[in-house]
Amino acid sequence: MQIDALFLKNFRNYEEAAVPFSPGVNLILGVNGAGKSNIIEAVYMLSTSKSFRKASDRRLLRWGAEEYAIRGVFSSQSGGAAHQGRLEIELGYSGEAKTLSIGGAPENRISSIIGRAYAVLYFFEDVYLVSGPPAMRRSYLDLVLSTVDPLYMDALQRYLAVLRQKNRYLYECVRLDDDLIDVWNEQLAEYGGYVLHKRLFLVDFINVFLESTTGGKAGFEIPCRVLYRSSVRNPDGMRSAQELRDCFRDELTRKRERETVLRRALYGPHRDDFSFSDGRREVRHFASIGEARLSSIVLKLAQAKFYGKIRNVVPILLFDDIFLELDEKNLRKVILLLGEESQKIITTTEKEKLPEIFRCERVFHVEQGGMVKWEGVNGSSH
């Protein structure tokens, strides 16, 4: 999959911009604050509908504007008929309303954008997937799985809705009804078992990928595995969704008294976490910033491979100014693992520090004020 062209109107610092991407490596150059990351952000939004910088839609508006529009033209030759050909996606915002159209047809639900264009983002906050809070890691698993599995998104949303009802009841009700709690627990086990089943499947895939990157020419110096830590007792020996549902249901029954005393739901995927481990210690407790960065990059490489396995697509790879944080040895290993088949969009302030192995087919120069100029590999400029 690739994005052929991006069109922006009143988005961030761009009044109007058209960015024609190459199928290969696209480099976006500019000083800090010029708007390099805004281009990456727009492409990412066309994949997920949301800003990776957690900005509200109103904050994405150009100063003085009342509406913005982001339009991308995508193409793909992989993944069967459903993923072949040309696809146009447009996100818009006006006042309080956000709009989406796919192939020129309006969509009622913004979530319909999920699974249309596949992109994997690498940016500076990814280091917190190693060292940050559990909620960030849970959100990461949920995003990856929701992108490839609509049933996962549905199960997760239903699980969270039931969880809110149960938590509200536990907190507010003076005299609790065990039968009513049993009804909610049954629903939580049904939806939560599926969520846990898919998360463990993804973690297994990541670990297989990690094993393949810790030896030979592409081997990294930080051999590690991902350990999934569940609040449901002993899930590792169970892999079927039904086994996990039964285990979760039994756990909720055993721990019901504790939950009623503390007045909140204490067990389930909403409390789970994962960590990187070298077999003896968790990486977050001893790793340097560079090692944590490398671990998070390898995790994102696994995500790209996961999309390929499940959806038979090669995702667009987005790199927001992170390569300069790696030493040259590991940087070259990352580049080798990226492969040549994926389209890459990279922002940086210093082209000269990128290894020669990175052959850029198109270089974009972003200037203050939202002006974008570009030059091709043949030296032609626009």
Kind and range of the H or E run holding 181: helix 178-212
Below-70 pLDDT ranges, the chain: 77-84, 214-223, 234-239, 287, 324-325, 352-358, 377-382
| pLDDT reported for residue 210 | 86
What CATH number labels 130-283?
Answer: 1.20.1050.90
The pair phi, psi for residue 91, each rounded to 5°, is -110, 135
Token pair belonging to 207 = 């670990």
Token pair belonging to 74 = 């995508």
Domain ranges (residues) in the chain? 2-118+313-376, 130-283
Tell me which DSSP letter residue 381 carries.
B
Tell me which DSSP letter residue 214 carries.
S
User: What tens digit of pLDDT does each residue of 12-64 get?
Assistant: 999 999 999 999 999 999 888 889 999 999 999 999 999 999 889 999 999 99
Of the options 3.60.15.10, 2.160.10.10, 3.30.750.80, 3.40.50.300, the CATH number for the domain spanning 2-118+313-376: 3.40.50.300
Place of tokens 């030493």: 327
Distance from C-alpha of 70 to C-alpha of 68, rounded to nearest angstrom: 7
- From 109, 126, 160, select the one nearest 52 (Cα to Cα): 126
pTM of the model as a whole: 0.89
